Structure 1
Amino acid sequence: MSPQGPRGGRGQGRPQRPATGRGKGPQPGGKAGGKAGGKTGGKTGGAQGGKPRTGGAVNRRGAAQRMTDRIAPAPQPPRRGPAPVRRPGADVHDPEGVRLQKVLAQAGAGSRRACEEMIAAGRVTVDGEVVTELGVRIDPARQVVHVDGMRFSIDDELVYIMVNKPKGVVSTMYDEQDRLNLADMVGPREQRLFHVGRLDLDTEGLILLTNDGALTHRLQHPSFGVQKTYLAEVRGPVKRDLGRNLRAGVELEDGPVSVDSFKLVDSKPGYALVEVVLHEGRKHVVRRLLEAEGYPVLKLVRVQMGPIVLGDLKPGKNRRLTRGEVQQLMSVAGL
């Protein structure tokens, strides 16, 4: 007997038939061909009978890359430079000065302990810089202090005086005709004082004297809107539309003027007392306004400037403003 060839086992495969043979060999469209095409063709990209996997993915990635190559990149925002360096605030400490809490206490801001708490809470500024250290010393004569945004007058050389100017007194600190003037109302002073606005010879009432130039400018200039209140006696009765006309504006020889408010205070047969509030500072403006409406002024008194009220101060007398009144004035003047 001729020896037989080894039978196929687990470790030994059967001889492969040629793929192009006839008979019962695998056909291109047959079952075996389909498997071969699915396994081999998918990896090599050549067979029939299965969807190509690896080759197709490569094609898609290549197409995606080609598409992105044609897309213009999105515009990028310009690069910013380095962040600005925050510099520390100005040094307001004056080694030769006075402790800030002591200055505030002397200015009437509160007790020494209360002023220390204000500083620690960050409520106090010196020359615009927030101060929270209790050891800071300042020069009251040259530095500006605010508490909660309100300026405190800490310079003892600054003077603020309220005068009740009588009729017949000139609103100057000196008069060449040797008439009674404001300097006669307050007596000799070391400081050079300025009058805040003027009152004509026949007008009475409140006028301020100070050596604070910044405050004087702001109280006088109409752009800062500091109101002045006047009481005027006129012949009555007063027509009902007088207030409306004054608020709407009256054309004077130097331009239109309007009042901020108008009120009828008292009225009797042949007599009326009216209140006029305005922030204009033109010469004789109240008298000219009322006269233009047919009511010549018989008597005129200024009773208030901003928050400062004349009160019961007698004509010819004067008094220094309290620290609280000075702070209120600075507040309305924007200092």
Structure 2
Amino acid sequence: MTFADSEQPEGVRLQKLMAAAGVASRRVSENLIAAGRVEVNGEVVTELGRRVMPEDQVSVDGVAIQLDTSRRYVMLNKPVGIVSSLQDERGRPDLGRFVSQYEERLFNVGRLDAQTSGLLILTNDGEMAHVLAHPSFGVMKTYIAKVRGKVTAQTIAKLTTGFELEDGFIAADKARLLTSGSNADASMVEITLHSGRNRIVRRMLDEVGHPVIDLVRRQFGPLHLGTLKAGQLRDLTKEEVGKLLTIARENGSTR
């Protein structure tokens, strides 16, 4: 159900919308409300007759819920060789092959360069996408990089201390060495940062003398790639959507 389905000016009963959104059954939703676990616009609501308007924000146990079921959120494990565009002007393999299977008009949240694989969000929720993709909101992303050479503890420290690149200072929020081959040909490094600069992980690792061989984004905010294989998609769970919506609201989203 969406708010468009109801033309009643007074809105829709809270428990009915919660049930329609898949939060819980109507009876369980009523129990959640009565227990004081539901907030509307930041205030605890305990009366079962409360009606919700389109502009209201609802959360359960502090986690936002998406009442508009016309919104869709999909996780893609983007394969290497796919550009982060719905229709590439140069005719390269793009995201069109993945979004074409959905009735909704989905678009990607942010970008991964063609040679980077991993977690990419596809959605038709423009407001949330803006917050999640905009660098100023600082959503954390975690990458696993296979790099050339033997990475030392001093190099890890340099990544987190930071240094100047051609477009300004940069520092990883976290970095750690996962493996370092005995023959020193390659190492595996995990880097977490909130910067949205173009090809930033590759440029950082180039700067410290360890060019990237392979790069995968494993985490985007509260979302983890898990066991999703390259080229596969799945809808986000209600819990995952709630966590993303909470981030969006905390950063000024009106929904």
**Shared fold (TM-score, shorter chain, > 0.5):** yes
Measured after TM superposition, the shift of residue 131 of structure 1 is: 3.5
Partners of 2:148 and 2:91 lie apart in 1 by 34
Shift of 1:192: 2.7
**2:99·2:105 contact (CA, 8 Å) conserved in 1?**
no
SS state at 1:241 partner: helix
Cα distance in 1, alignment partners of residues 50 and 25 from structure 2: 17
- The structure with more strand, counted as a fraction of residues: 2
Candidates 101, 107, 116, aligned match of 2:30: 116
Residue 132 of structure 2 is matched in structure 1 by 219
Instruction: Confirm or deny that 1:232 pairs with 2:145.
Output: yes
**Residues 237-271 of structure 1: CA distance to partner in whole angstroms, max 9, x if unpaired?**
11221111111112100001000111111121211
In structure 2, what is the Cα distance between the partners aligned to 1:244 and 1:330?
34
TM-score (norm 1): 0.67
Which residue matches 1:17? none
2:213 alignment partner, one of 277, 281, 298: 298
- 1:261-272 equivalence runs, <5 A: 261-268=174-181, 269=183, 270-272=185-187
Q: Does 1:133 align with 2:47?
A: yes
**% same residue:** 51
Unaligned stretches of 5+ residues in structure 1: 1-92
Match for 1:171 among 80, 84, 87? 84
Structure-2-length-normalised TM-score: 0.86
The one-letter amino acid paired with 1:178 is G
Q: Which has the higher contact order (CA 8 A, sep 6+)?
A: 2
Distance 2:71 2:57 in 1: 13
Out of 245-254 and 127-136, give the one that drifted further: 127-136
The structure number with the bigger radius of gyration is 1
Q: Deviation string for 1:9-58 (max 9, x for gaps)?
A: xxxxxxxxxxxxxxxxxxxxxxxxxxxxxxxxxxxxxxxxxxxxxxxxxx
Q: Which letter does structure 2 place at the counterpart of 1:299?
A: D
2:238 pairs with 1:323:
yes
Query: Matches of 2:233 and 2:10 in 1, distance apart?
Result: 36
The answer to whether the 8 Å contact 2:76/2:119 transfers is yes
Say if 2:21 and 2:69, in contact at 8 Å, map to a contact too: no
